[in-house]
Amino acid sequence: MNAVNSQSSINGPTSGRVLVAPRAIASIAAAAALQTDGVAGLSDPQGPPLLLPPGDERRGVEVHVHQNNLEVDVYLIVRTGRLIADVAHAVQSAVRAALSFALDLPEPTVNIRVQGVGGR
């Protein structure tokens, strides 16, 4: 079962096609990012680098579909006292694994955009 929808899809090796809304993909990515140690929260890419309120975190993820490729940008706030590069790398790995598992994709591109340092 492979797919992404933004009026386009990723075709899988089977004879069918499944469409997945970008909001669902953003929710999967946000959940994976928030479960990673050292993450204070996600930030809205269109606004100031402030933590998004609980339940609204998927706004901190942008989903792009380019032909058969999925690219996700995660806008992150790193918890104070943590190494930014380590947290960013851990989030990238966690989001990539979650999307690969949920969407049956080999290697989605995951870009981490650190917006600031803070904490809850």
67-118 pLDDT, tens per residue? 878 999 999 999 999 999 999 999 999 999 999 999 888 789 999 999 999 9
Annotated domain spans of the chain: 22-118
- Answer for the pair 32, 97: CB distance below 8 angstroms, yes or no: yes
Q: What is the mean pLDDT of residues 49-66?
A: 93
Token duo for residue 118: 């803070």
Q: What is the pTM of this model?
A: 0.84
Place of tokens 């469409």: 19
pLDDT > 80? residue 28: yes
The DSSP bridge pattern shows strands 109-118 and 39-42 to be unpaired
pLDDT > 70? residue 3: no
At 71 the three-state DSSP class reads strand
d(CA 114, CA 56): 18
CATH 3.30.70.1350 is held by the domain 22-118: yes
Identify the band that residue 23 occupies on the pLDDT scale cut at 50, 70 and 90: very high
What string of DSSP letters covers 87-108?
Answer: HHHHHHHHHHHHHHHHHT-S--
